[in-house]
């Protein structure tokens, strides 16, 4: 074999070894990179308690248009009983009110917002139901309301759910109130949906619907804002247990939130908040509920 041929063979051998070495380095880099992202992936699934402790921040879903419960009264400023509950729970988790990001969470988006992680908690007159508990978890309840009806002040032919046959009843998507009336009380009720309860109120004032149904405490807030135009009629029916929505797998988080709710009740802050936010509407402040979601 000539010297050139031998040298060429060695060059090919060296090139092959170099390629194998580079490939090995590349594989190692991929494995190291994979190991580096695992904790980040895991961090997105940890309890709300751990997220709060690590970041000192929380994103909480609330309604923006429920007077007495949660209402945006100015840019970046919110008031109401649900807001007070959310802030109390956040403080118990180590997050001050100024570090809460409030996110408007309409009734139809509450479960989705929890499941996709865009909010940490939902505190927005969120009724606990067995069906919802198959997809998310609840802490609480922190309040028990009854279903009610809101009509125009000059309406005399609607006195309760049984008198809604043939009437137009307004509700919002993914809630159970209106369908409950249709199923149990007035089968020929015509259901009309808007995205927000405030839009239902506008439709009622314009005469486009005959009544609005949701929880009586929410309706009392709207009636208090428009006493010369609106009134709540009939007796409350179909009790609604409000819970704080949380990710279904977050059992430790639910336990901590339950403890915070119980502390708010026992400290007297629960009643003070209701007296301040709900009392002016004339709504009778109920006794605090027992926390049962474990």
Where exactly are the structural domains of the chain?
Answer: 48-145+241-281, 146-239
Q: What is the pLDDT of residues 223-242, one digit of tens each?
A: 999 999 999 999 898 899 99
pLDDT given for residue 52 in this prediction: 96
pTM for the structure as a whole: 0.80
pLDDT given for residue 129 in this prediction: 93
pLDDT given for residue 20 in this prediction: 52
pLDDT given for residue 13 in this prediction: 46
pLDDT given for residue 222 in this prediction: 95
pLDDT given for residue 146 in this prediction: 93
pLDDT given for residue 5 in this prediction: 44
Same fold, 48-145+241-281 and 146-239: yes
Instruction: Return the CATH superfamily for domain 48-145+241-281.
Output: Periplasmic binding protein-like II (3.40.190.10)
CATH architecture of 146-239: 3-Layer(aba) Sandwich (3.40)
- Which of 104, 69, 79 is closest to 222 using CA atoms? 69
pLDDT given for residue 177 in this prediction: 84
Q: Which residues of the chain have pLDDT under 70?
A: 1-46
């Amino acid at each position: 074999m000539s010297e050139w041929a031998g040298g060429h063979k060695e060059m090919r051998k060296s090139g092959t070894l170099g390629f194998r070495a580079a490939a090995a380095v590349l594989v190692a880099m991929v494995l190291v990179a994979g190991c580096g992202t695992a904790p980040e992936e895991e961090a997105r699934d940890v309890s709300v308690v751990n997220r709060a402790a690590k970041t000192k921040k929380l994103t909480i879903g609330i309604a923006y248009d429920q007077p007495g419960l949660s209402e945006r009264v100015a840019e970046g400023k919110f008031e109401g009983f649900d807001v007070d509950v959310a802030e109390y729970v956040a403080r118990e988790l180590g997050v001050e009110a100024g570090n809460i990001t409030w996110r408007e969470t309409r009734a139809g988006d509450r479960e989705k917002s929890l499941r996709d992680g865009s909010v940490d908690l939902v505190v927005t007159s969120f009724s606990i139901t067995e069906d919802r508990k198959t997809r998310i978890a609840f802490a609480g309840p922190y309040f028990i309301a009854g279903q009610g009806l809101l009509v125009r002040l000059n309406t005399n032919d609607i006195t309760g759910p049984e008198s809604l046959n043939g009437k137009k009843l307004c509700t919002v998507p993914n809630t159970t109130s209106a369908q409950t009336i249709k199923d149990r009380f007035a089968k020929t009720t015509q259901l009309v949906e808007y995205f927000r309860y405030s839009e239902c109120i506008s439709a009622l004032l314009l005469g486009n619907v005959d009544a609005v149904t949701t929880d009586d405490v929410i309706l009392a807030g709207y009636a208090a804002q428009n006493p010369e135009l609106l009134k709540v009629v009939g007796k409350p029916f179909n009790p609604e247990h409000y819970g704080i929505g949380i990710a279904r797998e977050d059992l430790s988080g639910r336990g901590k939130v339950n403890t915070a709710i119980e502390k708010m009740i026992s400290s007297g802050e629960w009643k003070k908040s209701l007296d301040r936010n709900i009392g002016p509407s004339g709504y009778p402040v109920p006794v605090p509920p027992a926390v049962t979601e474990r």
